[in-house]
Amino acid sequence: MSIVCRFAPSPNGNLHLGHAYSALVNHAAAREAAGTFLLRIEDIDATRSRPDFIRAIADDLDWLGILPPAPPRLQSAHFSAYAAALAHLEREGLLYPAFETRGEIARAVLAKEADGQSWPRDPDGAPLSPFPREAMPDSARRRRREAGEPYALRLDMARACTLVGETLTWREAIGGPLQPPQIITAEPARWGDVVLARKEVPASYHVAVVVDDAVQAISHVIRGQDLYAATAVHRLLQTLLGLPEPIYHHHRLVRDGDGRKLSKSTGAASLAALRAAGASRAQVLELVARNLA
Ligand code: GLU
């Protein structure tokens, strides 16, 4: 099997040490196996992506000495591929437009919890929607969507799991990306009726990532532990869409000095800022190694 790995950042901020680690682990795995290392720009959400961040990603990888020679795949250039995947799911009756806003969902869940009810949360901690598909006929949903109301296209998780029928699993290379994988049971139902598109965002991360991993023939999906639980959704979509199953390796995360996960929102030092402050490549590698969780 020829090994193909990818680094798939979202261009909504500058890369930080956590991204550098992820890119380096991917690059090292591809090099060790004489395989291919690819770059994918996950700019599906045009409301948050910016071209200057795309340029900065290439500059950072170049500086790290691992910029792939092949041009990156830009998700924004492949909307029709994601639309085709969504149309397939829609034909199977697995999607429905939901009109409740995030605020309405949060308030309805708060009200339940204030009543002493416990309400399920997805593995990322977000409450599942308390508005089931059955609460509104599909014909009314269709009318509201056609009338131009903002909506989220949700996967009917119960129906999707019934259609798949079998217990889903994935192969996780635990000791390192190229180690023989172990079988993990996937539990997509924990995510509830996940959002797969919105009126203003034509496909969610979950849809785009499984389509792209298939199109780019990714053999090994190497990414951070924070995406471990999402793999269950990815396996479900791969099965529903008839896409191949890569091997997964979820690597450790880089923490900041206080042990928190690095993220753009917590203002983690960017590679660009470290570079501007005169840090060498060796110093960046040393910082990554020191802060691995
Ligand atoms: N675009 C995602 C991120 O920046 C990574 C997706 C993936 O590797 O599957 O967190």
* 223 Cβ below 6 A of ligand 1: yes
Q: Cα(135) to centroid of ligand 1, in Å? A: 34
Per-residue model confidence (pLDDT) at position 266: 57
For the chain, the residue count is: 293
pLDDT of residue 291: 85
Task: Tell me which of 53, 205, 206 to substitute to probe ligand 1's pocket, judged by most ligand atoms within 8 Å of the beta carbon.
Answer: 205
Asked whether 9 lines ligand 1 (CB < 6 A), one says yes
Low-confidence ranges of the chain (pLDDT < 70): 257-268
Residue 256 has a pLDDT of 73
| Distance (Å) from CA 110 to ligand 1 centroid | 30
> Does the Cβ of 8 fall within 6 Å of ligand 1?
yes
Give which of 63, 66, 75, 56 is closest to 22, Cα–Cα: 66
Burial code (b: 16+ CB inside 10 Å, e: under 16) for 107-131 equals: ebbeeeeeeeeeeeebeeeebbbbb
Contact 242, 164 (CB under 8 A): no
246 CB within 6 A, ligand 1: no
Cα–Cα dist 178/33, whole Å: 8
- The interaxial angle of helices 231-241 and 79-91, nearest 10 deg, is 70
CA 224–ligand 1 middle distance (angstroms): 8
pLDDT at 269: 79
* Per-residue confidence (pLDDT) for residue 12, from 0 to 100: 94
Q: Which residue has the tokens 């799991």?
A: 161
Q: Which atom of ligand 1 is nearest to the CA of 42?
A: 1
Q: Give 290: exposed, middle or buried? Use CB within 10 Å, 0-12, 13-18, 19+.
A: exposed
User: What is the distance in A from the centroid of ligand 1 to the CA of 8?
Assistant: 5
Q: pLDDT value at position 265?
A: 58
pLDDT for 258: 65
The DSSP bridge partners found for residue 4 are 36
- Residue of 53, 8, 41 whose CA lies nearest to 26: 8
Residue 234 beta carbon below 6 angstroms from any ligand 1 atom: no
128 lines ligand 1 (CB under 6 A): no
* CA 287 to centroid of ligand 1, rounded, Å: 22
The reported pTM is: 0.95
